Structure formats: structure tokens, C-alpha cells
Structure 1
Amino acid sequence: MRINKAASIALVAPLAGSLLFAAAPASAAPAVATKAVTAQSDPYSSFDVQVKAPKTAKAGGKVRYSVVATNAGPYEATAGTWFVGGTFPKGLDLKKTSYRASVAGTECSLVDRELFCLFPATVKKGEYVSIVFEGRFKKNAKGTQKAILGVASYNVDTGMENLSKEELDRLGIPGYAFAKLVKTRIVH
């Protein structure tokens, strides 16, 4: 599948899920819930992330990034509270980038070099998902090309699934990034 180029999406950081809750309607939350949510400091679901990339590639040549993310717990990661994403290298031709995911229905969006993929799945502790991104470097790519890929998860409590991104930010809902930096040196 091709990665969708969504012009109106803005990501706060490579693994900050601005879009995860942007379409959900806002609702008021009691002050007690705010205190309970902001006191939480550990992720509900942490991820062990493995990222593979070639050590070298030719300018204009193909590249493949694979990401395997295992839920390390302590809880299951429910759909809509986590995503796989990151930042592609500057020298990657984004028009020639595609993906294959282990979960049917996974959708990826790309803005500039930032991407995120929503997996429509609940991943229990010990289970994993994988995704492969394939692309081609630009013919003028040079130097060492860097990608940061991994998982972002959010501590969204039951009943908070319909809050807007703005309301989650206002309440201080914690988000966590589990990412790896991979480097590919361009050779001629």
C-alpha cells in the first residue's frame, strides 16, 4: 500500500500523536479525573521496538525499514491509544514509499517526512505487530541518512476515548515514545 500524503495533518513531534484524537468530539471531565490522570507516570503499555535498516545504500537505490513492536505491558494496548511512526530520512523519495503491515486495515499517513500508522488492533502483553516500509533514495542523496522509527502510546483511561486531542492535552494525558534511530550511509 502507498502511504497517504495528508496535507492538513500536523504532527507535534516525530512520535507525538496529534492526529490520534483530533476527530473525536470534546467533552468536559471532572476535576477529580484530571488529578488522577496527571498523577500517572508509567506507561499503560510500553513497547520493545526492533528496527532494521540497511547499513549502506546507493543514491537512487532501494531501502527497506522493518519495525517489530512487542507490547511489554503492563497492560494491553487498545486500538486508538498507540501507533507506529517516526521520521523518514531527508534523502528518501517520499513519492516512492509504500508499506506492508501485519494487521489488516492498518492506515499510514505522511506529512513532510513525519509518518504515523494506526493499527486497528488491541495488542496484549507479549504480542507483537510488524510493518515494513519500502522506498527509494533520491538520486542526489548523500552522506548518512537517519530515520527515527518506533511506537507512541498514550495513557487513555476507559471512558476517555471520545475526548478531543485538545482536551487530552489540557488534561495532561501522558504519551510515551519507544523509538530507535537507524542510519544508512549513501555510497556511490
Structure 2
Amino acid sequence: MFSAIKLFFAKWFLRFKIFSLLFATWAVIYSTVTLLGFKIGFEYDDCLVFSAPAFQKTMKEKIIEDAPGYWDSVNGSYKLERIKPLPYLALCLARFFGFETCVLCFRNEAGSENMVKYWKPLIKVFYFTTDENERYKTMEKDSYLVYFASSDTDVIQARKAEIVPVRVRRSVKSLNKLEHNPGKFKEFILPLSEF
């Protein structure tokens, strides 16, 4: 009977030691990453989410691009967008290990308040810009460790800012007009990211 109790405590003590070691390792990584202020960036459209349904809804409403209510409609339709699993997993892991996460949207900011609130627990900062140079300046200023991008434009801007780009493939149903040529710049391509 005593040997069974001893075996029981030995088994649970070993599990506790393993848990303590894993927790201590995570704590060191998390605190180091947080103290050093490492950041990871994501492109929003067709990288973090499949955003075609939001744009399709706006087209059905017959709102012309650059018309006053266009971006209000697109940004207000964020619930129609589908989260892409692998980039979302990368986002969650980055937060778990203490990285500050930022998103660059190639959109106007109009009507985006609810979309930003929806993502707030995982994404610290949203940048809305429609200018390539502004995107480059943001990337350079924030100095991301890694930047997940779908478009050639963002891969080029990341390289110019000396950031490691990771290419996220687009869905074949994407409506995004920006160039998309995976592997053209010899960047790492996230496998199965088109889904």
C-alpha cells in the first residue's frame, strides 16, 4: 500500500516538475520578448482574414470605391470576413510569447471602430493607410521582427525596412487588386495559408 502511495506521489511530483520547467521557460521567453519590445506585423486583407465578402457586400450596395460611404460599409462588414487559420494561429502564438502585434490595413479608417474593438484583445495597434510610403514609414518606425504579408507591395516594403517577410497565400476567390506572386522575392511562404 505504501509503495502505491509512493508511486502516486512520485508520478505527480514528476508532472509538477515538468510543468514548472515549462512554465519557467515560457516566463523567461515572455518577459524577455516583452522587455525588448519585439513586434510582429500583419497585413489585414487576405493575410489575416479573407475579406472578399465585406467588399462583395459593399459592391452589392452599389457604393463606388472612394465614395463617401465606401469604407464605412467595408469596415462595418468585418463580421462577414473569415479568419485565416494559420495566420491567426501565428498571431495567437505571438501574443502567447509576449510579442506586440500590429496590423496594417490598406484601407481608409472610416467606420472601423467596431472592427478594431473586435480584434483588440489580440492586436495592440491597427494602422490604416492607403499610401505605400506611409506603410513603409510605419514598418520602419515600428521595426517588426517579422511581417506577414499577402501582397508584393508589403513584401517589398518589409524588405526595404529590413524586416523578415513571411508570405501568406491568397484565396483564389480574393478580390484584392494588389499584386500577389508568392516566392517572387525568395521570401518564406506560410504553407496552407490560402485557406
Is the pair's TM-score, using the shorter chain for normalization, greater than 0.5? no
RCO higher in structure (CA 8 A, sep ≥6)? 1
Q: By percentage of residues, which structure has more helix?
A: 2
Q: By percentage of residues, which structure has more strand?
A: 1
Task: Give the structure with higher Rg (CA).
Answer: 2
How does the TM-score come out when normalised to structure 2? 0.29
